[in-house]
Chain A
Amino acid sequence: MTNKKDDLRRLGIYLLIVASSSAMLFACFKLINQSETAFAILSEVFCAAPALANLITRAVTKEGFRDMKLHLHLTGNLRYYLLAFLLPLVCTFMSCIPPIILGGHSDWLGGFTLKNIVAAILMLAAQGAVMSAGLVGEELGWRGYMNQKMETLVGVVGTVLIGGAVWSLWHLPSDMSLYLAGEETLSEAFLTVGGRLLFLPGYAAFYMWLTKKTDSVWPAVLSHGISNASQTCIMELLRMGDIPENAEINSGIFEFVPFIVTGIVFLWLMLCDKKKTEQKN
C-alpha cells in the first residue's frame, strides 16, 4: 500500500513538472513569436522536459537514480532493436501508401524505386543510430519513469491509454501553435490534437513493450527517432515521383489504422506476458 502511495506522489510530481513545461511554452508564446533564439532555447528545454522531470522527481523524493534503464542491453536483444527500427517504418508506410493506391493515384509513387527505397532505408539506419539520441529527452521520462509508476497504479491497459493520452497532450503547444499564430482555425487545431490522441497510444504500447522486453529505454529512443524520420523519408520518396503540388495525402481516419492495430497487438502481448508471470508465481 505504501508503495502505491509513494508511486502516486512521485507520479504526481513528475506530471506536474511535465505539465509545467507545456504551460511554459503557452506562457512564452509571445516571446517565441518575437524571437527565434528564444524559440530555439525554449523548444530544447521543452523536448528535454520529461527526462528532466524524471531526474528532478527522483532527486526531490529521494528515490535515487537506480533503474534508469540506461543500459543498452544489446546482448540477446538485437531482434528488439531491429523491430524498433522496422515497425515505425512499416506503420508510416502503411498509413500513407495504401490510401494513395486505393484513391487511384498510383502514378504518384514513381519515386518508390528499389534503388530509392534501399537508399532511404540505409540513410534512416545511419541517421537513426546517431540522430535519435536526442529523443532520450522524451523517452527517459515517458518510458523510463512515468510508465513504471503508472503501471503499479492503473495496470498495463491503463498505462497505455492514460500514458498515451498524457504523452499526446504534452504535445499541445506544438499542435496549437498554428492556431495561436492565427494560421489555423480552432477546429483544425483540435483535429491535429485528436489525431495525435488516436495514434500515440499505439506507439505508447509498442515502446512500453520494447522497454519491458529489453529493460532499456534505448530501443524506444531508436524507434521514436525512426518514427519521426520515416515521415520525412516517405514524403521525400513521394516528392521524387510525379506528385501534384496541391496533392492531399492525408486520408482521414484510415491513416491511424496501422497505429491502432500496433497498439492492440502489443497491448495483447503485454497482457499475455503478465498472465504468464502471474501463473509462474
Chain B
Amino acid sequence: MAKMTLEELRRLRDKKQNELQKRDIEGKDSRIIIGMGTCGIAAGAKPVLDAFLEVLEEKHIDNVSVTQTGCMGLCYVEPTIEVIVPGMPDVIYGKVDAATARKIVEQHIIGKQLVTDHMFDRPAADIIKKDGGK
C-alpha cells in the first residue's frame, strides 16, 4: 500500500475496527447460542449459524456474540437456538432455518419482540422473578 493520508488512515481504521470487533467479547451483551450436537448439525444447524453471522454483519450489529453449544435436549424441534438479550427473557427457539434466523435477528434482537411461533422453551429462572414480581 502506498503512503496514507489522514483520511485514508481513518477509513482503514473504521473498516478494520468492525472486523476486529467480532473477535472482541467485551461489550457484547447479547448472545445467540446455537445447539450443534449431532442432532442439531444433522437438522441443519450449520446453515443457521452461517445465516446468523450473515444477517448480523449485514445489519451492522456488533453487540451480539454467536456461539455454539452441544445438544440442548429438544431434539424433536432441531435446529434449536437460545437467544439471550438483556431486559428480555432467555428464549429457546426451535425449528430454526435461515429465514427464521433472519426473522429472529430483525424481530427479537432489533425489535425486542419475541418470535412466538418458534418459541419452545423459557427457562424457569426468567419466569420466577427474584423479587416476587413486585
Question: Does A pair with B?
Answer: no
Which residue numbers of B lie inside 8 Å of A, CB to CB?
Answer: none
